[in-house]
Amino acid sequence: MVATDGRPAPKGESPAFDLSTYLKGRQAQVEEALDLSLPLIYPEKIYEAMRYSLLAGGKRLRPILCLATCELAGGTIEMAMPTACALEMIHTMSLIHDDLPAMDNDDYRRGKLTNHKVYGEDIAILAGDGLLAYAFEYVADQTQNVPAQRVLQVITRLGRAVGASGLVGGQVLDLESEGLSDIQEETLNFIHTHKTGALLEACVVCGGILAGVTEADLGRLSRYAQNIGLAFQIVDDVLDITATQEELGKTAGKDLIAQKATYPSLWGIEASIAKAKELIEAATTELKPFGENAQALIAIANYITTRTH
């Protein structure tokens, strides 16, 4: 049983799960761990640029998913924190590169100027590269009290999620699809299951691997994550139309301006929201065998369709 702030509840007590309190507690732990993970050393310029984006806020959904899954499966926060930080480093580097003029060309991210707007394109590219390399070093070097075989599996999963079979592959298809008016649902699904879904899946799967779950449970966790990943992207597309720049912390309405194929452009807003809810239902069904231990992951899944940023 997990209490509202994520700590074990006293024996016999079963408090209602409060996601907002849980997220705040976990976000604070992740912020502290990220700050400690990357000291400002020589040459300061690159570390400053890496820290600028890594510590710029954000929901910290990826590390929290990793920590929550590790706990669900009987592991501890300490076992999963280095991987959780690495996942945020990878996510952050993908945002830095995505915002570059050669890609999405964005001026704002997480409510602040984008990395290249502050440090220039050359340093922004290098800051992304630095974070990517450091993520792998950090998992290998900092993970404690976990059998080495599991750490190796985590590193394999991270590499798979980031490379051409994951984020990079999804981004390439996204770039190739720009300006095309006849994008099929299949292509859109490929883009998003790779560009967004692969890393979200890695968060959950790596949390499970660190705790030593069975293959069958890993399958359940993986299907949960694939479903929330797609739902997350559908909601992202809807928010691009319905939310303000202040709510998003980045330029709103960019997909419409770029005439980008999105789920709302294929299905309309109502049907997109209905599809996201269906996916969340399927995701939470996968967690039934975990009983009460799954309450954090279930609450996070439900939050995905109700979020406003």
Name the minimum Å distance from CB 305 to ligand GRG.
14
| Residue 98 near ligand GRG by CB under 6 A | yes
Stretch binding ligand GRG (CB under 6 A), from 66-74, 97-105, 111-119, 282-290: 97-105
Alpha carbon distances (Å) from 139 to 76, 122, 151, 170: 15, 27, 7, 24
- Which residues inside 143-172 make contact with ligand GRG, applying CB under 6 A? 162, 167-168, 171
Percent helix / strand / coil, the chain, rounded to 5:
70, 0, 25
Return the number of the residue (196 or 226) whose C-beta is nearest ligand GRG: 196
Q: Name the helix (H) or strand (E) containing 113.
A: strand 112-113
Q: Tokens at residue 139, please?
A: 């998992």
CA angle 36, 211, 148 (to 5 degrees): 75
Count of chain residues binding ligand GRG (CB under 6 A):
18
Return the number of the residue (150 or 157) whose C-beta is nearest ligand GRG: 157
| 296 touches 22 (CB < 8 A) | yes
Q: Tokens at residue 167, please?
A: 């984020």
* Contacting residue, 110, 112, 160, 277, with ligand GRG by CB under 6 A: 110
Stretch binding ligand GRG (CB under 6 A), from 88-96, 117-125, 138-146, 151-159: 88-96
Name the minimum Å distance from CB 238 to ligand GRG.
12
- Which residues inside 224-253 make contact with ligand GRG, applying CB under 6 A? 236
- Type of residue at 216: A
| 161 touches 202 (CB < 8 A) | yes
- Type of residue at 262: T
- Which residues inside 21-60 make contact with ligand GRG, applying CB under 6 A? 58-59
- Type of residue at 144: Q
- Which residues inside 179-208 make contact with ligand GRG, applying CB under 6 A? 195-196
- N residues, the chain: 309
| Residue 89 near ligand GRG by CB under 6 A | no
* Contacting residue, 69, 83, 94, 143, with ligand GRG by CB under 6 A: 94
| 56 touches 112 (CB < 8 A) | yes
Q: Which residue is nearest to ligand GRG (CB)?
A: 58
| Residue 113 near ligand GRG by CB under 6 A | no
Nearby residues of 295 by Cβ (< 8 Å), 6 or more positions away: 2, 17
- Type of residue at 119: Y
| Residue 2 near ligand GRG by CB under 6 A | no
Q: How far apart are the C-alpha atoms of 167 and 104, rounded to whole Å?
A: 15
Return the number of the residue (98 or 217) whose C-beta is nearest ligand GRG: 98
| 245 touches 108 (CB < 8 A) | yes
Q: Tokens at residue 41, please?
A: 């050393």
Return the number of the residue (58 or 208) whose C-beta is nearest ligand GRG: 58
* Contacting residue, 26, 97, 157, 194, with ligand GRG by CB under 6 A: 97
Binding region for ligand GRG (CB under 6 A): 58-59, 61, 91, 94-95, 97-98, 103, 110, 132, 162, 167-168, 171, 195-196, 236
